[in-house]
Every structure is written in C-alpha cells, then in structure tokens.
C-alpha cells in the first residue's frame, strides 16, 4: 500500500482523502472527496494506485 489511510490532497475545488484499502479489489483504494474534509455531502470513489498517484501529483 503506497498511500496510507488518511492520506489527503487538494485537486481543483475538492479535497480527497483515502479512507480504506482492500488489496484484493480491482480498485483497492476508497477515496472520499468533497469541498473539505468536513463536508457532510461528500462522495466516495474507488481508485487504483496509479489513478491516485496521478491525481495527487496534480493536486496542490
């Protein structure tokens, strides 16, 4: 696991945070994103390590 649980970054208007990891899944990282870490209306997506690496490198 390259990105630890709790890893976060900002990309555009959104804050992304790794909330879980399942090494057996096709997309092992579950990432929550919203306007802030405290956003009650945040969404969750599943990402691969490569997708997360590209997204976080483009963040601020």
pLDDT in tens, 24-56: 999 999 999 998 777 778 899 999 999 999 988
- What is the reported pLDDT for 40? 79
Binning pLDDT at 50, 70 and 90, where does residue 8 land?
very high
- pLDDT band of residue 60 (cuts 50, 70, 90) is very low
Q: What is the pTM of this model?
A: 0.84
Contacts 24+ apart (CB under 8 A), 49-54: 49/2, 49/3, 51/27, 52/2, 52/3, 52/18, 53/2, 53/3
How far is it, in rounded angstroms, from Cα 22 to Cα 17?
15
């Amino acid at each position: 696991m390259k990105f630890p649980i709790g890893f976060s970054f900002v990309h555009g208007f959104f804050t992304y945070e790794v909330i879980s990891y399942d090494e057996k899944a096709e997309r092992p990282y579950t990432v929550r994103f919203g306007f802030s870490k405290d956003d009650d209306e945040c969404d969750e997506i599943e990402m691969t390590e490569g997708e997360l690496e590209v997204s976080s490198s483009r963040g601020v």
